Copies of this chain bind each other. A is one copy, B any other.
Amino acid sequence: MTLRVTVWGENVHEKKHPLVAEIYPKGMHQCIADALNTDPELRATCATLDMPEHGLTEKVLAETDVLTWWGHTAHGKVDDAIVDRVQKRVLQGMGLIVLHSGHHSKIFKRLMGHNCDLVWREAGEKERLWVVNPAHAIVQGLPAWIDIEHEEMYGEPFGIPNPDEVVFLSWFAGGEAFRSGVTYRRGGGKIFYFRPGHETYPTYHQKEIQQVLRNAVKWARPEGHAPWGAPERPVAKAIEPITEYGGSVH
* Residue ranges of A at the interface with B (Cβ–Cβ < 8 Å): 13, 17, 19-20, 87-88, 91-93, 104, 110-115, 117-126, 128, 130-137, 139-140, 150, 153, 155-159, 161-166, 169-179, 184-189, 199-201, 219, 222-240, 242-250
Measured in the bound complex, the distance between the Cα atoms of B163 and A7 in whole Å is 30
- Cα separation A185 to B176 with both chains bound (whole Å): 25
Q: How many chain copies?
A: 4
Contact of A175 among B88, B117, B166, B239 (CB under 8 A): B239
Q: Of B19, B110, B189, B243, which is within 8 A of A249 by CB?
A: B19
* A159 engages B187 (CB within 8 Å): yes
A130 touches B176 (CB 8 A): yes
**When chains A and B are docked, how far (Å) is the Cα of A69 from the Cα of B174?**
33
A228 x B157 contact (CB < 8 A): yes
Shortest 7 CB-CB contacts between residues of A and residues of B? A135-B188, A124-B246, A174-B238, A124-B245, A175-B239, A137-B223, A175-B240
Chain B residues with CB under 8 Å of A91's CB are: 114-115, 159
Q: Which residues of B contact A173 (CB under 8 A)?
A: 238, 240, 242-243
Q: Which B residues lie within 8 Å of A231 (CB)?
A: 115, 117
- The chain B residue with its CB closest to the CB of A147 is B239
Contact between chains at A171 and B165 (CB < 8 Å): no
A200:B246 contact, CB within 8 angstroms: yes
| Docked-complex contact A169 and B179, CB < 8 angstroms | yes
Q: Which of B150, B161, B177 contacts A246 (CB 8 A)?
A: B150
